[in-house]
Amino acid sequence: MSHPRWIFLLSIAGLSAGCVSRAADAPAAAGPAASFVGRQACAGCHETEDRLWQGSHHDRAMQEAAPGNVLGDFGGATLSHFGVTSTFFQRDGKYFVRTDGPDGKPGDFRVAYTFGVYPLQQYLVEMPGGRLQALPLCWDARPASEGGQRWFHLHPDEPVPAGDALHWTGPNQNWNYMCAECHSTNVRKGYVQAEDRYETTWSEIDVSCEACHGPGSRHVAWARKPEPRTDGGMGLTVHLKDPGRGTWIVDPRTGDGLRLAPPAATNEIETCARCHASRSVIHEPYEPGRPLLESHRPVLLEEGSYFADGQIQGEVYEYGSFLQSRMHAKGVTCSDCHEPHAAKLRRIGNALCTHCHAAAKYDAPAHLRHAAGSSGARCVDCHMPRRTYMVVHARRDHSLRVPRPDLSAKLGAPNACNGCHAGRSTRWAAGTVARWYGPDRQRQGHWGEAIQAGRQGDPGAGESLLRVAVDAQTPGIARATALSLLRRYPGAVTDADLAGALTDADPLVRAAAATAAEALEPDRRAGLLAAALADPVRGVRVEAARVLMAGPPDAATVPGLLPALAEYRAVQEVNADRAEARLNLGWLEARLGRLANAEAAFRGALQLDRTFAPAWVNLAEIYRLQGRDPEGEVLLRQALARAPGDATIHYALGLLLVRRRRLGEATAELARAATLAPREARFAYAYRSISPDPRH
């Protein structure tokens, strides 16, 4: 579990953005709601699946710290990291780590649970308030021959002192919020906001049957009924098997895989995406079979998470990549390649690919262009290059793309060719590809060029983004990303463009279209987004509500807005253990004119995370609205003492000093903001507006 230093929200809460494609509703059923029954109730009838699951990474996702489960050396081993020496030992049959605690002083902390199993294992420590915190001191579970069987720190190149958001006792290493849902079954976070504590529960400690298939009581009852059974739904909460499964053939004309029937639903992919995506929770409890955006929002192709062309950059897992792939577009699902119970690949090496792609065409020298048996002759090394996270965990990009070294120079993105041929230039790699496949390969446009232009504010970026946003042949996640960037370009998008996107079949695109409406004048948003407030998917409704509420005060009269705002508030309450959600609650209260409530929310955010700069800035803004700028100045200077390199704090302080007519000090602060964030046009504009230097 590794996390960025800042997670600042522009929409809902946590790691934000959208969802994709369609998903059938859970099978309708009368009578009482299904309940969780546990793996043993499933194993009697599903012996093969249970046998495959036992010992899998899902089975061992979380375990009690006990012999056989703990892989690390707790025999007195030590690890030193920037002046802190940690010792791993046992006492009275229990496992302990002596390391720096929340106050920076060394202490003995008992390991309660193991977390994960390979290629690394983390350890969880119980802390006050029902918190479980993940230690950054990890055991490398790889064989010694691969550099494993050792202790290492998740942040080997930087100190992480007590008080830092990434310190193991801080909010970004909190299991209850960051990790629990995807490592256990039927997790209920149980955050008690009034007391800032957790009452987290689960049905099973690991990722068991019902984590994917949903509560099984109805299915068990169906299975125990005498024949004939009349319930065609078999009492299942959600059907993961697609009726069209098993209809793949190799097309003899092209040598490519051909699905004889399109997939009937996306339940399987979106069930996996709940955990195999970088995303935030927007609704509890999770409802199996519902569209992903009903309960979660996966990250779009955001800067720092993905390169502009969609290749993985940050720790984003597999879902966002797979949505970009031709495989996804043609109906490939996770279980076509992965056996879901054992969580292993169905075939080894190129055989996995030639199950659908003719070996005579694709596993042959004319296609591979590399010597047989070399790494270059492995399909995945060209089409699914790896990137390493958490120091030792190499993960493959699931966009299954054709290598484009010609784009590397334009976008600063990696490419598979230079990933292996590190000593060669991208020009050499692009020239080699052109020699093999002809120069037209390098003339093919890519939507990543528009994404890059939109990120950088290049001339014509708005028009380029719009072309991507309306292109039905572009992957939905890329179209949604283009739409989200369009909010920076007033005038580039029309009401008609957004109206079309708001009726798109893909809820990911619809939610992003609501975000893009921020580019319109506030009085034009109401009519455009009114229908989105009644969208069948929660994530679209709450994003439309957020954008509308940012408009003029009379926006609250838009039909349907108040119920959607109630949902928006509920999203924040679900995540009220995070400073980002408290910030959003404060913003909502401020928009409603309840400044005392807004102040309380921003203070609550700072109580959760003193390093969260947006809460300092917004609290100072509340002071401004109340005529309390002297107190705001004290507040912002306290914030700068904690984060001297944060441009937004320098900017806020500069504006405050302008209001207080201390232009010399204001100029220095605004100059600092513009220097720290040169791509923020508003910082440069503010600085140039008051700078006495005629060159500006």
The yes-or-no verdict on residue 30 having pLDDT over 80 is no
Query: Which range, 235-249, 309-323, 515-529, has the best average confidence (pLDDT)?
Result: 309-323
pLDDT tens column, 577-587: 999 999 999 99
Evaluate whether 572 touches 588 at the Cβ level (below 8 Å).
yes
Which tokens in the block code for residue 578? Answer: 């995070």
At residue 414, the pLDDT reads 96
Q: Cβ of 496: how many Cβ atoms within 10 Å?
A: 9
Buried b (16+ CB within 10 A) or exposed e, 148-169: bebbbbbeeeeebeeebbbbbb
- Tell me, letter by letter, the H, E, C secondary structure of 500-551: HHCCCCCHHHHHHHHHHHHHCCHHHHHHHHCHHHHCCCHHHHHHHHHHHHCC
Q: Give the model's confidence band at 556: pLDDT under 50 very low, under 70 low, under 90 confident, else very high.
A: low
Say yes or no to pLDDT of 696 above 70: no
Q: How far apart are CA 312 and CA 306, in angstroms?
A: 5
For tokens 């509890």, what's the residue? 284
Q: What confidence score (pLDDT) does residue 375 get? A: 83
How long, in residues, is the chain? Answer: 696
Q: Which of 4-8, 277-281, 571-575 has the lowest mean pLDDT?
A: 4-8
Rounded CA gap, 440 and 452, in Å? Answer: 22
Task: Identify whether the C-beta of residue 577 lies closer than 8 Å to the C-beta of residue 599.
Answer: no
Percent of the chain with pLDDT over 70: 94
State the average pLDDT over residues 539-547: 96
What's the whole-model pTM score?
0.91
Q: Which two tokens stand for residue 591?
A: 């928009």
pLDDT at 244: 59
pLDDT(692) > 80: no
Calculate the average pLDDT of the chain. Answer: 90
Q: Mean pLDDT across the stretch 62-70?
A: 97
At 14, the pLDDT band (50, 70, 90 cuts) reads very low
Q: Which residue has the tokens 């993940």?
A: 134
Q: Would you tell me how many other CB atoms lie within 10 Å of the CB of residue 286?
A: 18
Q: What is the pLDDT of residue 13?
A: 35
Confidence band, pLDDT 50/70/90 cuts, at residue 557: confident
The mean-pLDDT minimum among 407-421, 518-532, 596-610 falls in 518-532
* pLDDT value of position 695: 55
DSSP state of 376: G
How does DSSP classify residue 24? P
Query: Per residue in 123-182, pLDDT tens?
Result: 999 999 999 999 999 999 999 999 999 999 999 999 999 988 899 999 999 999 999 999
E strand map for 7-68: 62-64
Sign for the pseudo-dihedral over CA of 429, 433, 435, 439: negative
- Number of C-beta neighbours around residue 76 at 10 A: 9
How many angstroms separate the Cα of 38 from the Cα of each of 17, 199, 223?
33, 21, 15
- What's the pLDDT band for 85 if we cut at 50, 70, 90? very high
pLDDT, tens digit (0-9, with 9 covering 90-100), for 257-287: 988 887 777 889 999 999 999 999 999 989 8
Structure tokens that stand for 440 in this block: 């037209």
> 344-345 and 386-389 as β-strands: parallel, antiparallel, unpaired?
unpaired
d(CA 279, CA 169): 22
Bond into 263 cis (ω within 30): no
Closest CA to 404 of 366, 365, 374, 448: 448
pLDDT at 693: 66
Query: Tens of pLDDT along 187-233?
Result: 999 999 999 999 999 999 999 999 999 999 999 999 998 887 777 78
